[in-house]
Structure 1
């Protein structure tokens, strides 16, 4: 009664399963990335951290503006004494203040939550049911952490620039080398410093991703990532461990002084990028080794 599936039959014309899955796969990664970024930047926690970061340069600018005496050179954070002379230094000073603690703290929260947060909510299992694969999920999660690094540093820089323009005079900037550059070029230097700091945080993001694959408790992964950033900076200040300093991911965090010279020296930028790339490669490989063998029960 039923025709056998011959060469010209309707049944033989149906496409096979594997080709259909392969055709869908290229778009899965982009859809997953879009969903990840949407969820990340719609969270109240994310906006609360960005608002807190934006408040740091405003507080610095207001404190300097209301101060009854000028800041003595060499006192306080770098470039603090130059804010009253030129408001463009507010952004740079705020970045210097945020690098040791505030930026690593917020990045540690986001990076530590990448995998552990999904496991804690019980959504990790459903993400793995999509034909995206574990390695693609790791890449998407890390891309989300990188996007937050960009957003965090840009928030501090933009808020500092705005506060400086509103509260202080703005004009040509005197560089560390003694040269003077225009307002437009100084804004470009501020963007380069923000990019430098963003690159500096990429290694910490990879460490947070790695730690996040070992636990289903996001708070633990966040805390461990933040503690490691503090420990790395403490070790970097111990002269007895000078041999270890070049290998610490925080070693070049404040090494952007070369971007404030004329001409710009890219040595520290290159060394920092190479160091962070090494941490990304090692931590990424370890994260995949752990995550590929992880039993996902939730």
Structure 2
């Protein structure tokens, strides 16, 4: 079924679906999560915690404290730490890579397929289309972080003993509360990726070549992290969208602090607002020929 045909089906029932906005959003999510590429990326993300767990399980010696990713030395003692370690491993590269692919494809992908003109002819409008495309990217962010956390928890339960978790503050919590904290960390990382998604949407309005938009978004994610590690640019660090990506350690202390969560959410909201406004300014004046 072609992309145009796939999108026409929801639009045909727009009256029953609550209007063109909901119909367009339903179509976007349906197309996004039926793509082989989307599922391939999600399965690749799910494989990361499994590989970590298997590697630790097959290792003949324990991981020394302080070696490798955060929490890796605790995996063999408590399987719940597989999810924590996998999220730490995926944040710098794997999650930005997959989100960059999805966000960079939002507008440029439609233009490349020749469906962008049709979408704008439908009673949706450019602002609504941008909002729907961004919502689709956010939905992928949620799915990506949740699948890493879920896969890590499952691998940890299967391969290692599970019990009370000792937090970074030295306090101990039960398995149920540890699962809740894992979900909170996944939510924190999802929020962290909102700014990158907005950047990808903005970049996508500048080109009709989705691969270029994807590559530019991923490169910007890497550049931001490199700049964040240069002490000579301390003044710039608080303004970089990746600055708080690994700041979820406060969620693993007792009492739990929400300061880093709030600062991260405020920073990402700023990027969403600025990049969203720039994307609208560019897209509203864009001549769509395909």
* TM-score (normalizing by structure 1): 0.92
Secondary structure in 2 matching 1:73:
coil
TM-superposed CA distance for 1:150, in Å, is: 0.2
Correspondence for 1:143: 135
Is 2:158 the counterpart of 1:175?
Answer: no
Correspondence for 1:219: 211
Unaligned runs of 5+ in 2: 1-14
Per-residue Cα deviation, 1:199-230 (whole angstroms, up to 9, x for no partner) = 00000000000000000000000000000000
Is 2:200 the counterpart of 1:185?
Answer: no
Check the 8 A contact 1:25/1:132 in 2, yes or no. no
Per-residue Cα deviation, 1:116-164 (whole angstroms, up to 9, x for no partner) = 0000000000000111110000000000000000000001000000000
Per-residue Cα deviation, 1:253-273 (whole angstroms, up to 9, x for no partner) = 000000000111000000000
Correspondence for 1:206: 198
In angstroms, what is the RMSD of aligned CA positions?
Answer: 1.1
Is 2:288 the counterpart of 1:260?
Answer: no
Check the 8 A contact 1:103/1:152 in 2, yes or no. yes
Check the 8 A contact 1:111/1:142 in 2, yes or no. yes
Secondary structure in 2 matching 1:41:
helix
Unaligned runs of 5+ in 1: 1-22
Check the 8 A contact 2:17/2:23 in 1, yes or no. no
TM-superposed CA distance for 1:232, in Å, is: 0.1
- In the alignment, which of 52, 57, 65 is matched to residue 44 of structure 2? 52
Which 4+ runs in 1 deviate beyond 3 A?
Answer: 23-26
Correspondence for 1:272: 264
Correspondence for 1:109: 101
Structure with larger Rg: 1
Equivalent runs, 1:281-296 vs 2, <5 Å: 281-296=273-288
In structure 2, distance between residues paired with 1:94 and 1:118: 33
Check the 8 A contact 1:247/1:275 in 2, yes or no. yes
Is 2:158 the counterpart of 1:166?
Answer: yes
TM-superposed CA distance for 1:88, in Å, is: 0.1
* TM-score (normalizing by structure 2): 0.94
Equivalent runs, 1:3-42 vs 2, <5 Å: 27-42=19-34
Correspondence for 2:64: 72
Check the 8 A contact 1:115/1:212 in 2, yes or no. yes
- In the alignment, which of 71, 80, 85 is matched to residue 93 of structure 1? 85
Check the 8 A contact 2:56/2:76 in 1, yes or no. yes
Secondary structure in 1 matching 2:34:
coil
In structure 1, distance between residues paired with 2:70 and 2:135: 31
Per-residue Cα deviation, 1:230-260 (whole angstroms, up to 9, x for no partner) = 0000000000000000000000000000000
Per-residue Cα deviation, 1:60-80 (whole angstroms, up to 9, x for no partner) = 000000000100000000000
